[in-house]
């Protein structure tokens, strides 16, 4: 199955986050839009940069009733350490078996793309300032982000060109706010 694009129904997403109540995307989108972000393992500096940007934008999304959930392929133990240490206020789901990654069509990744991405500068410097932790997931996967409209249809989808890509959170926020009027 390929990655869902705009106008297509979002795949199911129902899982227990590191902390908090079960996330049920269908229930969330019955009330409003939701942002779903698939990242690499928590030790990745690029994942850390994406999460830091998402955390900074979270109050702006939350006040408008926009749900936010991030997924990582790190094990639950890593998530239980990482989430409170980094004060993440939105749900983070650990999916080390990558079942949700496969369901959403974002499980592909490869060495060539990883090496090409690491050769790029720009965002890589910001990400490297976040530090590198333990490699406890698939290091060559590319991040992906989705904006799911009320009713469960994908309104916008983004796929990082390489594993070193950082989620364009400013664009996510702008598009999400556009769905709330």
Tokens for 52?
Answer: 């830091």
Question: CA separation (Å) from 12 to 72, 102, 121?
Answer: 17, 11, 36
Give 49-80 pLDDT, tens digit per residue: 999 999 999 999 999 999 999 999 999 999 99
CB atoms within 10 A of CB 67: 21
Phi-psi region of 43 (alpha: psi -120 to 50; beta: other; left: phi over 0): alpha
CB atoms within 10 A of CB 20: 12
Non-local (6+) Cβ contacts of 109 within 8 A are: 138, 140, 141, 142, 163
Give 11-35 pLDDT, tens digit per residue: 999 999 999 999 999 999 999 999 9
In the chain the domains, ranked by start, together with CATH numbers, are 14-176 (3.40.30.10)
Percent of the chain exceeding pLDDT 90 equals 72
Of 156, 119, 159, residue with least CA distance to 143: 159
The pLDDT assigned to 45 comes to 87
> Rounded CA gap, 106 and 108, in Å?
6
Specify which residues 179 forms β-bridges with. Answer: none
pTM above 0.75, yes or no: yes
Q: Residue 157 in contact with residue 146, Cβ under 8 Å?
A: yes
User: Computed from CA positions of residues 118, 128, 69, 83, in that sequence, does the dihedral angle turn out positive or negative?
Assistant: positive
Q: Residue 71 in contact with residue 95, Cβ under 8 Å?
A: yes
Mean pLDDT on 135-152: 81
Higher pLDDT, 109 or 93: 93
Tokens for 105?
Answer: 């069509």
Centroid of chain to Cα 131: 19
> Within 63-104, where are the H helices?
76-85, 99-103
């Amino acid at each position: 199955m390929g990655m869902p694009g705009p106008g297509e129904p979002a795949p199911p997403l129902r899982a227990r986050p590191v902390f908090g109540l079960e996330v049920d995307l269908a229930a969330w989108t019955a009330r409003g839009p939701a942002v779903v972000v698939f990242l690499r393992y928590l030790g990745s500096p690029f994942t850390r940069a994406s999460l830091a940007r998402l955390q900074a934008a979270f109050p702006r999304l939350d006040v408008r009733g926009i749900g936010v959930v991030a997924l990582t392929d790190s094990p639950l133990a890593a998530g239980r350490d990482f989430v409170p240490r980094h004060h993440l206020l939105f749900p983070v789901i650990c999916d080390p078996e990558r079942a949700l990654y496969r369901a959403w069509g974002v499980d592909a990744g490869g060495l060539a793309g990883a090496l090409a991405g690491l050769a790029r500068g720009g965002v890589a410097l910001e990400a490297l300032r976040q530090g590198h932790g333990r490699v406890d997931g698939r290091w060559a996967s590319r991040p992906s982000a989705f904006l799911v409209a009320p009713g469960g249809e994908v309104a916008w989808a983004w796929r990082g060109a390489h594993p070193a890509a950082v989620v364009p959170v400013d664009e996510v926020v702008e598009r999400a706010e556009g769905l709330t009027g």
